[in-house]
Amino acid sequence: MSATRTATELTIPSDLGESRRVMELIEGALHTKGYTEHDIFAIKLALEEALVNAIKHGNQMDPDKRVFVVYHITPERFDIRITDEGDGFNPDDVPDPTAIENLERPCGRGLLLMRGFMTEVEYHGKGNIVSMVKVREVSA
C-alpha cells in the first residue's frame, strides 16, 4: 500500500467475534464505494479465511496476542494487510487440497479460496503477514 494514501488501521484481540466486527466494517465501506455484490462476496470470503487463519493458526487463539489489520479502499481496488503474532508458516508447505490424496483433508482449502477470490495474495516475512488485493470488477 502506498504511503501517500490514507489507510484504516485496526488492532483486534485473537477473538473470532472481533473478526466478524472487522468484516462488517469493511463490508459497509465496500458498499459505500460502490462495489458489486460479487466483489463484496469474494472479499468477505477471503477476508474471513485470512482473519480466522491469523487468530486460530497464527495466534493459537491466545487472548494476549493481537491481529493487526491495515486496509485501504478506493473505487478501483481493495488492499489489506493482516499480521498476526504467531511463528509464521511457509504457504508452499501447505498440501494442495485439490490433489487426490488430499481431497478429504481439511488443510489448505482457505488458502486456495483466498487465492481464487482475490486478485493478489502474498505472504511476507516469516509467513505471519498476508497482503491481499482485489481489483474491482468493471460493470458493463
Q: Is residue 2 part of a domain?
A: no
Q: Supply the pTM of this predicted model.
A: 0.87
Other C-beta atoms within 10 Å of 104: how many?
A: 7
Domain count, the chain: 1
CATH number of the domain bearing residue 113 = 3.30.565.10
pLDDT in tens, 50-97: 999 999 999 999 999 999 999 999 999 999 999 999 998 887 777 675
For the residues of 48-112, what is the DSSP string, one character each?
HHHHHIIIIIISTT-TT-EEEEEEEE-SSEEEEEEEESS----GGGS--TTSGGGTT--TTHHHH
Check residues 3 and 115 and name the one with the higher pLDDT. Answer: 115
12: domain range? 8-135
pLDDT in tens, 91-117: 777 767 566 775 677 666 778 789 999
Residue 38 · residue 139 · CB < 8 Å: no
Q: Is residue 88 part of a domain?
A: yes
